[in-house]
Every structure is written in C-alpha cells, then in structure tokens.
Amino acid sequence: MRKFLAFVAAAAAVLTAGPSIARPLVAVIDSGVARTAELADVVIAEYDVASAAAPRAEFQPRYDHGTMVATIIHRETKGAADIISFRMDDPNGCPPSFAPPCQFSPHPVAAAIRKATELNVDVINISLALQEHPVIVEAVREAAARGVMVVMAAGNNGNDRPSNRNAALAGGTHAVLVGAVDKAGLPWSGTNRPEAASAGYEYVWRLGVMVPTRSAAGAAVAGTGTSFAAPIEAAHRLMAMEAARTATAVAGGSSSPVLAIGGALGGTRR
C-alpha cells in the first residue's frame, strides 16, 4: 500500500511539473561577457577562441561590447534564455583608429560558429562586421544546415549594401541581417541598408539608437549601432523558436497524461 501511495504521489508531481524542456540557448560571439549582477545566473560558459593556447580569465572582458550585447538579449527574453560567450577579440587589442572588439583573422570567428553549432545552441548572435572570408561563410552555412539561426549586424558604414552579406546568403532562411532604426522607426544615419528586395537574404530593422544596457562593470549605459539592434532580433527569434518548440512538445506528448498514468497504475481511469 505504501508503495502504491508513493507511486501516486510521484505521478501527481509529474502532472504538476509538466513536460521538462531545456531553456533556450544563445551564443554571443563578441568581446567576452562579464557576469554582472544582471547576467550572473544566465551566462553559463565562456570559450576564448582567440587565445586558445593561453585562455584569458573567464568573464573578465577587456571591452564592454559583448556584455552590452548579452544584456540586451537577456532583457528582451525577460531572462528566459541562457547565454554562452565566445570571446573573439584579439589579445593584442585594437589599433588606435579601430573601435573594439577587433579580430583580423577569420579563423577565431569561424571556430566560434562551429563550436556553438556543436553545442546545439538555438541562435548565434554576431554583432560584428565580419570579413567576407570563405571560412566564415562556410561556418555560417554549416550552422544553418543544422537548424541554428544566425543573426548578424548589418554594419555601421552608412552604405547601401550590408556587411556580412555573403554569410547571410550562405545561411539562407536560417540567417538574418539587422539594421538600426531610432525610436521613431527611422533608419539611423550610420546603418548599412539592404539592397533590392531580390538580393537573396533576409534583412530586418530593429531599434539601434541609444539602446539601454549595461557595461562590463555593471554600469547603466546605452549603445548605438547595428551591434545593438542585432541582439534584439536574436532575442525575438529565440523566443519564437522556443514557443514553437514548446507547442510541438505539448502536441507530441501524451494526449492525456492522466490516462497514461492510469495505464501504469493498471485499469482505465475515467
């Protein structure tokens, strides 16, 4: 009798808890992410792809950029996603005329994309103007083929042709470029704009002017540029994928958990 009652209690717990679904997972390929008070519970790992021989201390970035991006994702998902940081900034820093983060080799970024794909992330956020190098383009193609959504900033040169164009073409329906608009919905003067509608890639607009976020030190700051528009889109893609996955899990499970447990207990429950 005791065993029977224990089984009923366990079955009731299963019904109350519902199906177990892993939290959505996003990769941030950037300058590294600090575990600020806001991000401490959601930044679950960091890989230093730019200094593999002598990895730098985890979660202690030299620059704010990656933490700002990750904070935007965290806020847009309302804390419902976990983040893996891929630190790609050159250990030697940036030349005086360049805005961080800098990386002049395509290989660390390609390695980060491939590692993120291997880890089965749902979305990869790349708030960088990548080199249109074949090794990066191929890494994006591989990620997309595995069902990973790759969200990339369109770049900040004010051009009528976006950065990361070839990677977006390679990613097809699993890649998107993001341009920046202001709070009135008007394109920011510095954003790279899309080409004609027949260009063959997806391009969307998101807020990218004075986007509230936090620095690596945890201070309140605001970011302007397509770097800070991309994580908003990444968060929205992530949550749309999660909603679809949850709906599929519910639809694909037992149509009647009570009947399933009834069968385990023996007999038919009404």
Question: Hey, which residues are catalytic here?
Answer: 30, 65, 227
DSSP 204-251: EEEE-SSEEEE-TT--EEEE-SHHHHHHHHHHHHHHHHHHHHHHHHHH
Phi first, then psi: give them for residue 5, nearest 5 degrees: -65, -40
CA dihedral over 60, 64, 67, 69, signed as positive or negative: negative
Helices (H), the chain: 2-17, 65-76, 107-118, 134-145, 165-171, 226-252, 257-265
Q: Which two tokens stand for residue 49?
A: 């792809």
Torsion 223-229-233-238 (CA) sign: negative
In angstroms, the CA 244 to CA 237 distance is 11
Report how far residue 177's alpha carbon sits from residue 159's, in angstroms, rounded to the nearest whole number: 14
Separation CA 44–CA 39 (nearest Å): 9
How far is 256 from 67, CA to CA, in rounded Å? Answer: 44
